[in-house]
Structure 1
Amino acid sequence: MARTIAKDHDEKRGAILKSAARVFAEQGFDRASMSMLARECGISKANIYHYYDSKDALLFDLLDTYLCELRDRVCGTRIDGLTPAEQLHACVAEILLAYQGADDEHKVQLSGMAALAEEQQALLRGYQRDMIQFVSAILARNAPDTLGQDKTKLRAATMSVFGMLNWYYMWNTGAGTKARQDYAQMVTDLTLGGLGAV
C-alpha cells in the first residue's frame, strides 16, 4: 500500500527549502551537507531524506520552485489598460517586490545553478527567458521606432534594466517595500527619460 502524504507535507517541504536556501547561500552548494541542512531545519537527516533523496534533488527543487513562482508573479503583473510607461513601472516594481525576502534564493540561483544537470538548467533558464521576454515586450512598446525595430538594442536595454534591479538586490538587502517602490520609479524614469528625468 502506498504511503499517504502527511497533511503538513507542503509546509514542511517549504521550510526545508527555505533553510536549504540559507545554508547553500552561506556555505556554498559544494560545502553544504545534508547534516548541515538537517541542523538548520531542526529535523533529522533521515527526515530530510524522506523529502529529497539527494542534495542535488533538493537544489533543483529549491531553484525550480523559486524561479517558477518568480516567473509566474512577474509575467502575471497586471498591465492591461496601462500606458507603456505605466506597464514598465508596474513590472519593475513587481520584480523588486518579488525579490524581497528572497536574498538567499537569489544568491543560490546565481552560484548554484551550474551544479545541476544540463536539462534541469535548461528548464530553469526557460523561466528566466520568459521574464526577459515579458520585460522586452514592454520596453519595445515604449520605444517602437527604435527598440521595437532593433533586437540587439532591445536585448541590451532589457538586460540593462535587469542589471539595475540586480544591483539593488545585491547592495540593498533588507530594503523595505517603500524603498523598493521608490527605486522602481527611478529605474522607470531613468530607462525612459535618461538622467534628465531622474
Structure 2
Amino acid sequence: MARVRAADFEEKQLHILVNAAAVFAELGMEKASMSQIAARSKVSKALLYHYYPSKSALIFDIIRSHLEELDLALQAVADESQNDLPELRLRKLVRQILECYRDADDKHIVQLNCRGLLAEEETNEINELERRIVMRIADTLHEINPEINNKRPLLKPVTMSLFGMLNWFYMWFKPNGPITREEYADVATTLVLEGLKNIQ
C-alpha cells in the first residue's frame, strides 16, 4: 500500500529547500553534506532522504522551484499589464524580478553556481524555464524597439545585459544602503530604455 502524504508535506519540503539552499550557498556543492543540511533543517537524515535521495536532487528542486516562482510572477505581471505601454510593462516586469529575488539570495547563488552538476534531463528542464523568463523580457524589448534586430542581432545582447544588471544585484545591494530595491529596478530599466532609443 502506498504511503499517504502527510498534511504538512509541502511545508516541510519548503523548509528543507530553504535551509539546503543556505548550506549550498555557504559551502558549495562539494563541501556541503546531507548531514549538514539535515542539521540546518532540524530534521533527521532519514526524513531528509525521504524527501530527497541526493544533493543533486535537492539542487534541482531549489533551482526549479525558484525559477517556477519567478516565471509565474512574471506571467501575472504580463497579464495584468497587457494593455499598458510596453515601456511601463518593462518597468513592472523588472520590479517583479527584483521582488522575487528578495530573501532568495541563497537560491539565486545555487542557480548560478550549481546548475552544472545537474543531469542532462534536469538541465533541459531548467533551460526551458530560463528561456521562458528571458523571452518575457525580450518580447517586451522588441515591442519597444521593433527594429532592434534589423542591422545586427542585438535583442539577445540587450536582454542579457539587463539580466546581468539584475542577477548580480545581490552581490552589492544593502537593504539600508543609498538605494532601495524598487529604485534600482527603475534605474536598470531606465538605462535600458534610454539605450534602446539610440542603439544601432
TM-score (norm 1): 0.91
- What is the CA distance between 1:165 and its match in structure 2? 1.0
Tell me how far 1:140 sits from its aligned partner: 0.8
**Pairs within 5 Å for 1:167-186:** 167-172=168-173, 174=175, 179-186=180-187
* Structure 1 segment 6-85 matched on structure 2, within 5 A: 6-77=6-77, 78-85=80-87
Farther-moved stretch of structure 1 (99-108 vs 62-71): 62-71
Name the structure 1 match of 2:154: 153
**1:164 corresponds to 2:168:** no
| 1:87 is aligned to 2:89 | yes
Distance 1:81 1:112 in 2: 38
Contact 1:52–1:58 (8 Å) recurs in 2 = yes
Distance 1:151 1:175 in 2: 41
After TM superposition, which residue ranges in structure 1, 4 or more long, deviate above 4 angstroms? 173-176
Q: CA deviation at 1:122?
A: 1.1
Query: How far 1:174 sits from its partner (Å)?
Result: 4.5
Question: Which one-letter code corresponds to 2:114 in the other structure?
Answer: G
Structure 1 pair 175/118, CA: closer, same or farther in 2 (3 Å)?
farther
Instruction: Provide the C-alpha distance between the structure 2 equivalents of 1:174 and 1:49, rounded to a whole number of angstroms.
Output: 36
Structure 2 residues not aligned, in runs of 5+: 196-200
Instruction: Measure how far apart 1:50 and its partner are.
Output: 1.3
Distance 1:148 1:84 in 2: 17
Code of the aligned partner of 2:182:
Q
Q: Could you say which residue in structure 2 is the equivalent of 1:143?
A: 145
Identity, % of aligned pairs?
A: 41
1:74-123 CA-to-partner distances (Å, cap 9, x unmatched) read 23313221101101101111111111110000000011101111111111
The verdict on how the C-alpha distance between 1:22 and 1:174 changes in structure 2, with shifts beyond 3 A counting, is farther
Verify the 8 A CA contact 1:68 1:127 in the aligned structure 2.
yes
| Secondary structure, aligned partner of 2:84 | coil
Question: CA shift at 1:169, angstroms?
Answer: 2.4
CA displacement 1:6-55 (0-9 Å, x = unmatched) = 11110000000000000000010111111000110111111101111122
The alpha carbon displacement at 1:166 in A equals 1.8
Aligned mate of 1:130, from 125, 132, 137: 132
CA contact (8 A) 1:100 1:175 kept: no
**Aligned pairs, how many?**
192
TM-score, normalised by the number of residues in structure 2: 0.90
Query: How far apart in 1 are the matches of 2:125 and 2:91?
Result: 28
| Shift of residue 173, structure 1, vs aligned partner | 5.3
Q: Give 5+ residue unaligned stretches, structure 1.
A: none
Counterpart amino acid of 1:129? R
1:113–1:121 CA contact under 8 A, matched in 2: yes
* Cα offset, 1:148, TM superposition: 5.3
**Alignment pair present for 1:109 and 2:111:** yes
Question: 1:45-79: CA deviations, max 9, x gaps?
Answer: 11101111122212111111111111221233132
Greater shift in the superposed pair: 160-169 or 22-31: 160-169
Corresponding residue number in structure 2 for 1:99: 101
